[in-house]
Amino acid sequence: MSSSDNWDKAEKEGSKGRRRPTQARSKATVEAILTATAQVLERSGPEAATTKAIAARAGVSVGSLYQYFGSRDELIDALAHRHVDAMRKVLSESLAELISLPLEAAIPRLMTALIASHRVNPRLDHVLHQLTPISDTAILDEFQDFAATITTTALRTHPDTNLDDPELVGSILAQAVSGVLRTTLRRFPERLGDPALEGLLSDLVLGLLGRQGSATEA
């Protein structure tokens, strides 16, 4: 029954995204739309993020939204990518110096970095996590994977650690820390100021390492 389609469907253009913005005007519009989406999502949750509401907040028409994003889901997906990139960037910036430090100093640094990256936009982060199964690329998991990889690498690199399965340990640690941080950001944001948090997280990591057969104890 569909609609047209006993005709050739050759008329379509690559279904991902709709236009590669080149002009300055376009870029500004795209930016406005993404920002508006983030704002609506943060402030009013997933259900409120209708195309109409987003367009209104961005100060453009719905049509413009579809000029740059193939669908509402694609828009949210783009926003998720942008958000993860921002988090990843913050985290990456603290990495170079880690390698040269001893574990006892490196871990606290890493915790600080992780806290910072989770602070980028916790509210949006949370909403995006709720949306995950919808924008199915699961980009959000990528950040956790990134954090896990970094941790694993750190564990492998440092000579004073000796683990059976650094991969697993890194993964678990990343999950634990991210679990703490996301809950904290959502439910107890005031704790972020408390330096105890960073200490606690560092101890969490170092404590596990100490028990998992590192040479630290000696």
Encoded one letter per residue, x for contact with a copy of itself by CB under 8 A and - for no contact, window 127-166 reads x-xxxxxxxx----x--x--------------------x-
89, 157, 175, 189: residue in contact with a copy of itself (rule CB under 8 A): 175
* Shorter beta-carbon distance to a copy of itself: residue 13 or 24: 13
Query: Minimum Å distance from CB 124 to DNA?
Result: 17
117 contacts which partner out of a copy of itself, DNA, none, CB within 5 to 8 A by kind? Answer: none
Q: Which of 51, 54, 58 is nearest to 28 (CA)?
A: 58
50 binds DNA (CB under 7 A): yes
Q: What is the 3-state secondary structure (H, E, C) of 48-77?
A: HCCHHHHHHHHCCCHHHHHHHCCCHHHHHH
Residue 209: what residue type?
Answer: L
- Contact (CB, 8 A) for 108 and 202: yes
What are the b/e assignments for 52-62, b being 16+ CB within 10 Å? eebbebbebee
33 binds a copy of itself (CB under 8 A): no
Burial of 198 by CB count in 10 Å (0-12 exposed, 13-18 middle, 19+ buried)?
Answer: middle
Contacting range for a copy of itself; rule: CB under 8 A; set: 89-97, 111-119, 150-158, 194-202:
194-202
Query: What's CA 105's distance to the chain center, in Å?
Result: 25
Q: Determine the size of the site formed for DNA (CB under 7 A).
A: 29
72 binds DNA (CB under 7 A): yes
43 binds a copy of itself (CB under 8 A): yes
Query: Minimum Å distance from CB 193 to a copy of itself?
Result: 13
Whole-angstrom distance, CA of residue 34 vs CA of residue 209: 41
Q: Which of 118, 145, 31 is nearest to 78 (CA)?
A: 31
38, 41, 60, 110: residue in contact with DNA (rule CB under 7 A): 60
44 binds a copy of itself (CB under 8 A): yes
157 binds DNA (CB under 7 A): no
10 binds a copy of itself (CB under 8 A): yes
Q: Which of 164, 168, 130, 135 is nearest to 151 (CA)?
A: 168
Query: Minimum Å distance from CB 54 to DNA?
Result: 8
Residues contributing to the site for DNA (CB under 7 A): 1-3, 19, 21-23, 25-26, 28-29, 47, 49-53, 59-64, 66-68, 71-73
